Structure 1
């Protein structure tokens, strides 16, 4: 590396050589000054017009799937790069199949390190295979570039803040693999109440009956026919399912979390969402965990768009294990905005008195409640009366397996 003493030595050698008439010493001093000047100018332009890019073959994956990361760097100028060092930050949770991560000063972060030389207007590409066995949001970047002059006297650093994110969904099992019934796991979907109607869709009119509310009266048709007419609405056939996930795995927050149990609860919620979308439910999600860099409970409103399941899986991939609210309070607040006839499926690893009380209150208010419990303590306890309850084995598997038989309490 460059040291100012070399510049001072070159200047002294040049002056002494000129004063003493020693051409060899003068030439040596001039050569050193020329090398330093060329190296300084080279270094100033080393990282100009250098492009570094990443491209993921897939930005979303399931655990165990392999994703190809294509890296490319281009030198878009006439000045070649004698050396270029690239250190790209990569989460340690991603397995590098074609190499290994270098350690970094940040916990949980490694460095994808590459050293190469580039000619003028040259582009280089190479590929790395990545694999993750756990759900999560994996951020790739920022990248740190270093280069310098041909003689190694100067060095220039640059940080590229652009990042790419790989979303790894939670594991999704079939209901049979979880030990749940594959037919109507949320109970009989036929409501004992009359078919719900969509007031935004009028399909006709009919004569007024004594039990009809006045807001259904069609006044223009009444004036035309000279007798009271009421609107006939189109029956609503959309079933709604709201999944409530409890990210707490221990009775008290200060006790921490059980990662394996939490991941299994998230997988159960993802599996229920997948089943619901497949069977034409409008599926929503609430959780007392939060998004990264947020302190608000996670929420995905019910919907039936083609990408709605992907939105729910992305939310479950990102949810953090730190509870931001009590699940009973969250359920009571959210139920007020649910349409009548919707099903509330609660997935939890902890069934305490407060949760049971909240579920009974919702049941008394006419809500359809289904409890999916991973709480081992419930083996010696009875299920909440009047609530369809499943006890799922709390032993998470590495691959879809049939867990121990669950018990159903009607």
Structure 2
């Protein structure tokens, strides 16, 4: 496959029309000179032709021999991972590898319009939330003059304000002849991708396992006995409490026997985050979606600290997968070639297959590496118009762990969602719901049908309420 940078080089329509105009004028001058026998006209025509030819040659040579390279990149196939508030220095080296000096070259490192903006100071907290997720300190564009073998640098700093998966670049090189008749554009460097990890609220007392001694959830791990569910009897062993002695069997056999109960409590959690666009409206973005992600990763971190298992299931979409299928963003100067889009697959770790209806799932496990993977996935999570939450629960029920609490974080709960959660609860699943909304009336309306079915519901009001949500889960 050809190098995408070579395919990106092109002439603009204005350049081609200018060339045709110059050629037509030169041809007219030559014809007039031949008819009138004017040598001066002929000389002028030849001079113009030489200027046009030299301009085309020089612009082509400059475009071919000026190259760019992005410095201080992470390892091959890896994304740069930073925390919210971090400053990422960006450096692009532009070098003239040719034998001719380059009079001018314009180097611009692109930044998607939705992600970037100029650095601004706001005192209003709402204004800070609505600011672009990335701000730039320094110039992303520079005009350079390069001697043969000379290298100049384009340096600026990106301030990461919100979690997400962001594209920095690609670098576009623009040059042309000194007269301005020809313009050449080239893709100098592929973009780099930055994963901004969400902030983790430390919750040292969080415990997702139920502390109720009586319940209806049967699991394979004997976490806590339920005295209302007798499973059998066995001979008494040292350490068995006297209240569990089966006196009828003891009297019949003459040997102490103790009762065996079914377990009633579950440990750990499978965190389910609803990211469908219909239940995550635009007027709440990005505040509420980011709050759901922060709550999910904070609960996962607390479970990790407690040594309990945790997993993730969501109907959202991994932004890295989107970049792999749709390609990185450019502009009109570098074209829309498939080869250019395919270059994104070499710039980040991508999934082998893509289907926007395929849920993002991380199996239940323990350990710091598992927490890191879950944090990275939540950082890249985006809304999608694929599976709704009820369809998602039906699709993934066989893959969800029945030995953990299903902790569902959502903004809205339509009738179909309530019916799906109630159905799971009646069939023996341990369900807990966190409603992410600012309006107390909306919370009351959404929580009522769930509370009527004995499903525990918590109110996620803002980031400060994450600890309160966890305390409620611990006491349930």
TM-score by length of 2: 0.60
Distance 2:38 2:456 in 1: 103
Q: 1:116 to 1:97 in 2, by over 3 A?
A: farther
Superposition deviation, residue 329 in structure 1 = 3.6
The match for 2:83 is 62
| Correspondence list, 1:6-405, <5 A | 7-8=26-27, 31-55=47-71, 59-92=80-113, 93-97=115-119, 112-160=140-188, 162-175=190-203, 182-188=205-211, 195=221, 241-248=269-276, 256=282, 258-259=284-285, 260-292=287-319, 293=322, 294-302=355-363, 303-304=365-366, 306-375=368-437, 376=440, 377-379=442-444, 381-382=447-448, 383=451, 385-393=453-461, 395-396=462-463
**Contact 1:248-1:262 at 8 Å conserved across structures:** no
Structure number having the greater strand percentage: 1
Distance 1:170 1:196 in 2: 35
Distance 1:8 1:345 in 2: 78
**Contact 1:76-1:120 at 8 Å conserved across structures:** yes
Deviations 1:83-138 (A, max 9, x none): 1112332123234559xxxxxxxxx9x99432111111122123211123222222
**Once superposed, which parts of structure 1, at least 4 consecutive aligned residues long, lie more than 6 Å away?**
12-17, 189-192, 400-406
Superposition deviation, residue 244 in structure 1 = 0.5
Q: Which has the higher contact order (CA 8 A, sep 6+)?
A: 2
Structure number having the greater helix percentage: 2
Q: Aligned-pair RMSD on alpha carbons?
A: 4.2
Q: 1:28 to 1:367 in 2, by over 3 A?
A: same
**Contact 1:57-1:68 at 8 Å conserved across structures:** no
**Which deviates more from structure 2 when the two are superposed, residues 117-126 or residues 320-329?**
320-329
**Contact 2:33-2:39 at 8 Å conserved across structures:** no
Q: 1:15 to 1:264 in 2, by over 3 A?
A: same
SS of the residue corresponding to residue 336 of structure 1 reads helix
Distance 1:401 1:339 in 2: 24
Distance 1:333 1:41 in 2: 61
**Contact 1:57-1:69 at 8 Å conserved across structures:** no
Q: 1:40 to 1:56 in 2, by over 3 A?
A: same
Distance 1:156 1:143 in 2: 14
Distance 1:9 1:261 in 2: 67
Structure 2 segments unaligned to the other structure (5+ residues): 1-17, 75-79, 121-133, 224-233, 235-265, 323-354
Q: 1:358 to 1:27 in 2, by over 3 A?
A: closer
Superposition deviation, residue 405 in structure 1 = 10
Q: Aligned pairs, how many? A: 349
Distance 2:86 2:393 in 1: 35
**Which deviates more from structure 2 when the two are superposed, residues 39-48 or residues 159-168?**
159-168
SS of the residue corresponding to residue 91 of structure 1 reads coil
Q: 1:332 to 1:43 in 2, by over 3 A?
A: closer
TM-score by length of 1: 0.69
Deviations 1:327-367 (A, max 9, x none): 23423442322344223211112244443443343334333
Distance 1:326 1:42 in 2: 57
